[in-house]
Structure 1
Amino acid sequence: MHERLRNAILASVIVASLVLAVVALRPESVQAEDPVTDPRLISVNGEATIAVKPDMVTVSFGVETNGSTAKEAQQANTSRMNSVIAALKAAGIKAEDIQTSNFSLYPVYGWEGDRPGGTQVLTGYRCNNTVTARVRTVSNTGTIIDAAVNAGATNVGGIIFGLQNPEPTQNEALALAVENARSKAEVMAKAAGVTITGIYKISDGYATVGGFESAARVLKDASTPIESGTVTVRATVRMDFTF
């Protein structure tokens, strides 16, 4: 008797479980997920530019020599460039701020007879050596150029003004670029009759220092005049605002 009752109860439980499982699988019992909607965005680019006085300048000093042989041209160049480097150091440039940026040694050819029909002949060799120096006291630039020229430099160029530590100014420019982006977004939102509710995304911005390049005028009896002017630090950032 008890065995039959227990089996009947067990059968009822199994049937009830199957019914619940079938009901749960019916399509109308499955709850639909809320559709995912794209955020409403106002996307803008923010920009900022800061002009500051430079506190560093890089200058390239070159020496060109000629010789009847490659060795002669190279030895003459070495002697003169050593004098230029010594003059730079004597003027206050540290050894770690002087770096060779170019060296070349090559044959020079000329022509015998009229062209066409003339003959190309070797006339000698030419050696070029260039060093780049970082001048950390901008006001001394003219004096340093004079010292290098007096020591034997035959070419001076690549005068670029910059900043020894640009990071603080770059960070300031990035902050201003973010403010510029927000201002643009608010103007657009107001014109569209909506209200900005937050920031959805800020893309990596960047800040660059635009060095001002100057040409040196080497004068015989006066210090070379160098005007530093200003350098510009530019920053840009991409921002998406929700509304």
Structure 2
Amino acid sequence: MDTGVTVVGSGRVSGAPDVLRVTFGVEHFAPDVASAVARVGDRTDTVIAALRAHGIEESQLGTSAVNVFQHYREPGTDVGYQASHTIQVESKDLSRFGALLNAAVDAAGNNLTLNGMQFDIEDKSELLTQARELAFQQARAKAEHLAGLAGFSLGSVSAISENQNQFPIHRAYSASKAAFDSAINVVPGDSSVEVTLEVHFAWA
């Protein structure tokens, strides 16, 4: 068994977000699969066209999920089918949430759902570097304290394992046309990244 001490250090760093991500869903219930899929397809095309008209580029739009499933209702009633199409939208303009939401609601009406909104940092590499450095400093300080208590001196590092966490600002909503007749203004807060290091120091 290796001698030494194993400690855990963590470092958390925050930064201003630079990207807005919104996830819209288009859903429709119909008595048959073909009608459900066709309606969702038409409404999805309308939503995408509305978003494009508001300056969203092709590269900023993407499908994240398409689902069709049988919807069981009360016993004795006809079985229906639920179709859905989930669209992810990205924008560098953090103030556009209300405008994009209203455009999507106008396009899809009550077939629209808002599955999530998130402010994030596109490139977290610098924040991760800073958080990693803080985590290692904390781990070393802990190890030095424990070594002193035990009457040892620290030697070299023999093992490191890393875990990363991200804490972007996130909101979830259920949308209807009446609920979003006017623009909604949201204010982004800082996004954070956290790195946790498990470090094993050998005794000198």
Q: TM-score range by the shorter chain?
A: 0.7 to 0.9
What is the SS of the residue equivalent to 1:137? coil
User: In the aligned structure 1, how far is the partner of 2:158 from the partner of 2:151?
Assistant: 22
User: In the aligned structure 1, how far is the partner of 2:29 from the partner of 2:3?
Assistant: 70
Higher relative contact order (CA 8 A, sep 6+): 2
User: In the aligned structure 1, how far is the partner of 2:44 from the partner of 2:2?
Assistant: 64
The correspondence for 2:63, drawn from 71, 76, 100, is 100
Deviation at 1:60, TM superposition (A): 1.4
The corresponding residue for 1:209 is 166
User: In the aligned structure 1, how far is the partner of 2:40 from the partner of 2:119?
Assistant: 28
- AA aligned to 2:104 is A
User: Does residue 139 of the first structure (1) align with residue 92 of the second (2)?
Assistant: no
For the 8 Å contact 1:107–1:122, the answer to whether it is kept is: no
Post-superposition CA distance 1:124-171 (Å, at most 9, x none): 543222211223322222221221112115100222332211111111
The corresponding residue for 2:118 is 160
For the 8 Å contact 2:25–2:113, the answer to whether it is kept is: yes
Structure showing greater radius of gyration is 1
User: Does residue 226 of the first structure (1) align with residue 186 of the second (2)?
Assistant: yes
The corresponding residue for 2:106 is 150
The correspondence for 1:49, drawn from 2, 7, 12, is 12
The corresponding residue for 2:150 is 192
Deviation at 1:109, TM superposition (A): 5.1
Deviation at 1:88, TM superposition (A): 1.6
For the 8 Å contact 2:71–2:79, the answer to whether it is kept is: yes
What is the SS of the residue equivalent to 2:37? helix
Q: Percent identity?
A: 26
Higher helix share: 1
User: In the aligned structure 2, how far is the partner of 1:66 from the partner of 1:216?
Assistant: 20
Deviation at 1:184, TM superposition (A): 0.9
Deviation at 1:123, TM superposition (A): 5.5
| Deviates most, 54-63 or 81-90 | 54-63
User: In the aligned structure 2, how far is the partner of 1:65 from the partner of 1:217?
Assistant: 15
Matches for 1:27-66 after TM superposition, within 5 Å: 40-66=3-29
The CA RMSD over aligned residues, in Å, is: 2.5
Post-superposition CA distance 1:173-198 (Å, at most 9, x none): 111111111111122223334433x3
Gap change, CA 1:192 and 1:102, over 3 Å in 2: same
Post-superposition CA distance 1:50-76 (Å, at most 9, x none): 222222232211112234543333222
User: In the aligned structure 2, how far is the partner of 1:228 from the partner of 1:217?
Assistant: 20
What is the SS of the residue equivalent to 1:229? coil
The corresponding residue for 2:199 is 239
| Deviates most, 220-229 or 41-50 | 220-229
The corresponding residue for 2:137 is 179
Gaps of 5+ in 2: none
What is the SS of the residue equivalent to 2:76? strand
Gaps of 5+ in 1: 1-37, 112-118
The corresponding residue for 2:83 is 127
User: In the aligned structure 2, how far is the partner of 1:202 from the partner of 1:161?
Assistant: 35
What is the SS of the residue equivalent to 2:122? coil
